[in-house]
């Protein structure tokens, strides 16, 4: 690693770094702007939007509003429950389906694979009306369960697709050795195959978790009640038709970044090992 980068042309490597730094700045700038402005008064936000909070512009009024007026701790809890449970269900059921599709030979397997993966091509929002009716008929509209079911269904196809491709690459001999040692198919999947695929699963987890956390549509349609509101929906509370409390909106958004950041860091440290070893014991 070190030797190859040391041997690289310094000009090329600094050019590369320049490009990467510029790109990083472009990506980070909006987030920085949000966090910066969340610590300013309304006057500060509009008077000097690009400045760091200073003496007279510094204010915690946004955060105060969020914690006093809105029911934010509850919204956070809702978002976390929905995101984590959906994520777990997606990974666990995705892995099981992928294993069934990649490991065993049976009639109709190709059709079943196609059926599972078809979801990749159909935008789930087109089915909103149907989903809404279904949830109402099942009596679970305005519950977190409704959201969890929808998100799990939405993200399963990609998880199945990626994992079944990867599982084909896990050594057959290893699985067979485990079968001879008497391990159940569940243990082979969760204790042998999934740990090998840990990085891939962490990636899937990140790609599943972020859209769920950020989604506004389904919380709005399926669970808009006060007790089931998620953070993204809760933040809308401060955006009025005529007046928008920008400090509060920005404070809510800044706070909403934190859990994702924490989860992301956990995944990059492959917390997944714990998840998979604890899933089936």
Partner 1 sequence: MGELAFRNITKRFDKTEVLRHIDFQIEDGEFVVIVGPSGCGKSTLLRIAAGLEDQSEGQVIIGGTDVSLAPPAKRAIAMVFQSYALYPHLTVEGNMSLGLKQARTPKDVIKERIAEATRILALEPYLKRKPGQLSGGQRQRVAIGRAISRHPQVFLFDEPLSNLDAALRDQVRMEIADLHRRLGATMLYVTHDQVEAMTLADRIVVMHDGVVQQIGTPRELYKTPANTFVAGFIGSPRMNMFQGQANSGVIRAPGLPPLPLPEGTALSGPVTVGLRANGLDLHPAPGAGADTSEVVDIDYLGNVCYLRLTLPDDATMVVEQRPDHPFSLGDHVTVTVQPEEVHLFDPEGLRI
80 binds partner 1 (CB under 8 A): no
Contact present, 267 and 198 (Cβ < 8 Å): no
CB of 77 to partner 1, least distance (A): 35
CB of 111 to partner 1, least distance (A): 16
- Binding range to partner 1, per CB under 8 A, among 121-129, 190-198, 204-212, 232-240: 190-198
Measured from the CB atom, the residue of 173 and 278 that comes closer to partner 1 is 173
Task: Pick from 80, 84, 153, 183 the residue near partner 1 by CB under 8 A.
Answer: 183
Distance CA 98, CA 165 (A): 8
Measured from the CB atom, the residue of 32 and 177 that comes closer to partner 1 is 177
CB of 270 to partner 1, least distance (A): 13
Q: Tokens representing 131?
A: 């989903």
Task: Pick from 34, 178, 206, 266 the residue near partner 1 by CB under 8 A.
Answer: 178
- Total chain residues near partner 1 (CB under 8 A): 14
Task: Pick from 171, 216, 257, 274 the residue near partner 1 by CB under 8 A.
Answer: 171
Q: Tokens representing 57?
A: 């512009």
180 binds partner 1 (CB under 8 A): yes
Q: For 79-216, list the strands marked E by DSSP.
A: none
Measured from the CB atom, the residue of 184 and 244 that comes closer to partner 1 is 184
Task: Pick from 192, 220, 266, 271 the residue near partner 1 by CB under 8 A.
Answer: 192
Task: Pick from 33, 69, 174, 216 the residue near partner 1 by CB under 8 A.
Answer: 174
Contact present, 53 and 39 (Cβ < 8 Å): yes
Distance CA 229, CA 256 (A): 14
Q: Tokens representing 200?
A: 């891939």
Distance CA 221, CA 212 (A): 14
CB of 202 to partner 1, least distance (A): 17
Contact present, 215 and 236 (Cβ < 8 Å): no
Q: Tokens representing 202?
A: 């962490």
Q: Which residue has the tokens 């859990």?
A: 259
- Binding range to partner 1, per CB under 8 A, among 27-35, 54-62, 67-75, 169-177: 169-177
Task: Pick from 119, 127, 195, 224 the residue near partner 1 by CB under 8 A.
Answer: 195
Distance CA 230, CA 208 (A): 17
Of 184, 190, 119, whose CA–CA distance to 156 is shortest? Answer: 119
Measured from the CB atom, the residue of 69 and 174 that comes closer to partner 1 is 174
Measured from the CB atom, the residue of 201 and 231 that comes closer to partner 1 is 201
Instruction: Tell me how many degrees the CA angle 260-263-269 measures, rounded to the nearest 5.
Output: 140
Measured from the CB atom, the residue of 6 and 173 that comes closer to partner 1 is 173
Contact present, 93 and 273 (Cβ < 8 Å): no
Q: Which residue has the tokens 């809702």?
A: 78
Contacts to partner 1 by CB under 8 A: 171, 173-174, 176-183, 192, 195-196
């Amino acid at each position: 690693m070190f030797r190859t980068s040391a041997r690289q042309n310094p000009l090329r490597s600094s050019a590369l770094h320049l490009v990467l730094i510029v790109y990083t700045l472009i990506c980070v700038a909006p987030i920085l702007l949000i966090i910066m402005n969340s610590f300013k008064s309304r006057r500060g936000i509009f008077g000097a939007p690009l400045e760091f909070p200073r003496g007279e512009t510094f204010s915690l009024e946004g955060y105060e509003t969020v914690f006093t007026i809105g029911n934010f701790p509850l919204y956070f809890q809702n978002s976390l429950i929905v995101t984590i449970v959906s994520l777990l269900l997606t990974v666990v059921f995705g892995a099981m389906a992928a294993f069934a599709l990649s490991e065993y030979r049976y009639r109709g397997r190709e059709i079943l694979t196609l059926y599972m993966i078809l979801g990749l091509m159909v935008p789930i929002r087109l089915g909103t009306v149907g989903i809404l009716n279904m949830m109402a008929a099942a009596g679970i509209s305005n519950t977190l369960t409704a959201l969890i079911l929808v998100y799990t269904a939405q993200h399963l196809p990609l998880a199945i697709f990626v994992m079944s491709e990867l599982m084909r690459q896990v050594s057959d001999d290893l699985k067979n050795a485990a079968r001879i040692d008497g391990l159940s198919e569940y243990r082979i999947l969760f204790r042998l195959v999934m740990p090998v695929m840990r990085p891939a699963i962490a990636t899937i987890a990140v790609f599943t978790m972020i859209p769920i956390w950020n989604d506004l549509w389904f919380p709005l349609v399926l669970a808009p009640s006060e007790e089931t509101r998620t953070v993204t929906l809760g933040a809308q509370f401060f955006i009025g038709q005529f007046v928008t409390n920008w400090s509060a909106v920005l404070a809510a958004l800044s706070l909403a970044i934190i859990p994702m950041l924490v989860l992301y860091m956990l995944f990059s440290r492959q917390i997944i090992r714990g998840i998979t070893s604890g899933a089936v014991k």
